[in-house]
Amino acid sequence: MKREARSPLATPAIDEIWRRAAAQVGFTLTRTGDAYATSDGRGVIAIGATETLDADDALAQLVFHELCHAITEGEAALRAPDWGLDNVPAHTVREHACLRVQARLADPYGLRAAMAPTTPYREYYATLPSYPLESTPGDREAADRAAAACARFEASAWRAPIEHALAATAAAMESAAAGAHPLGFALGPAAETCGTCAWAYEGGRGTAVTRCRQTAPAEGDGERTARSHPACVHWEPPVDCRTCGACCREAYHSVTVTMRDPVVWQEPHLIVRHGPRFEILREGSRCAALHVGEGHSYTCTIYQNRPRPCREFSAGGRHCIEARRRVGLTPTPAARPTGPRAS
């Protein structure tokens, strides 16, 4: 039966979280108009195309359900279409066990209700006890199957990516409900995520994690985020140097080079000497090697011979964002965010 309420999981950012989770545990995810959700036993999970699903269905919920089936049925089922299950009464207990696993994994993240099935099994799911692995009258086999599956899951390589996906989903839902990004910024383009933003980068002490340059202080790293988080109001597409040119324009007043830099003898007409210092010639406020084309396109006329400071300048890096701010291409956040932090 179709319902009007749209699933809170049905967002591009949360879709991406579960596409990534499926890939991390070894599955290719596709969409189909021929089935609600199915697996082929060869590493492909097919989820119904958006137009074939009910309003309260979501890609995340269906992928999670299929992964819970795989967890419940065990390794051998990975090589069987639809995990070796058929829509027959004899397999009902196995479906019930899957739903118990689903509730058990979703509970720590407050996602039991959001991840509820929309099939006829919803009624069973709704009556599960607070601790979903607890045996209930007449349903001990399902509880035992679910408990064994959860024990396997705890020791498996699937645990980290699936738990990460659940945590990221909860954060994305909380942010959407509050109308804010997990870092405290207002939400931005609905179809984008931190993963498509120019200012996401991998860094920090120890193991590198995804961080946001928009929150970086003058020294040090930006706040942690996740590439699956929804885009904030400061989202920008990856920097295209040919339409930017900020670093070669008014952002900086000079490019200093050493006498050993090959550009000194390769491009002598562009070298200005100030005592012991060498600089690249300026034309007004811009580098003399910068060519401005039609439509404000920017190219470097000595790109192959450009000096070392230019070679070390990283598109999308700390100095890049500062250069863009100086010429007005990238706004400066009014204040450091004070909202919830991404985990």
Mean pLDDT of all residues belonging to the chain: 90
String of DSSP letters for 160-204: HHHHHHHHHHHHHHHHHHHTB-TTSPBB--TT-BGGG-TTEEEES
pLDDT at 335: 53
Confidence bin at 338 (pLDDT 50/70/90):
very low
pLDDT at 245: 95
pLDDT at 336: 42
The full length of the chain comes to 343
Give the contacts of 258 (CB within 8 A, at least 6 positions apart). Answer: 278, 308
For residue 343, being part of any structural domain is answered with yes
81 and 221 co-located in one domain: no
Distance CA 61, CA 68 (A): 11
Confidence bin at 342 (pLDDT 50/70/90):
very low
99 and 141 co-located in one domain: yes
pLDDT at 73 over 50: yes
- Here the contacts of 117-122 (C-beta below 8 Å, separation 24 or greater) are 117/61, 117/65, 118/54, 118/56, 118/57, 118/61, 121/95, 121/96
Bridge pairing between strands 200-203 and 37-39 = unpaired
DSSP helix/strand/coil, 207 = coil
For residue 175, being part of any structural domain is answered with no
pLDDT at 5: 64
Average pLDDT over residues 186-192: 88
232 and 248 co-located in one domain: no
For residue 173, being part of any structural domain is answered with no
Residue 298: φ, ψ to 5°: -125, 130
For residue 320, being part of any structural domain is answered with no
Number of neighbouring beta carbons within 10 Å of residue 253: 8
First vs last Cα of the chain: how many Å apart? 38
Domain hosting 186: range is: 180-238+331-343
For residue 6, being part of any structural domain is answered with no
Residue 197: φ, ψ to 5°: -90, 140
Average pLDDT over residues 70-94: 93
- The string of pLDDT tens digits covering residues 219-236 is 888 888 888 888 999 999
For residue 319, being part of any structural domain is answered with no
Number of domains in the chain: 3
Confidence bin at 309 (pLDDT 50/70/90):
very high
pLDDT at 341: 41
The predicted model scores a pTM of 0.61
- The string of pLDDT tens digits covering residues 6-56 is 788 988 788 888 999 999 999 999 999 988 899 999 999 999 998 888 878
28 and 75 co-located in one domain: yes
Element (H, E) at 62: helix 59-73
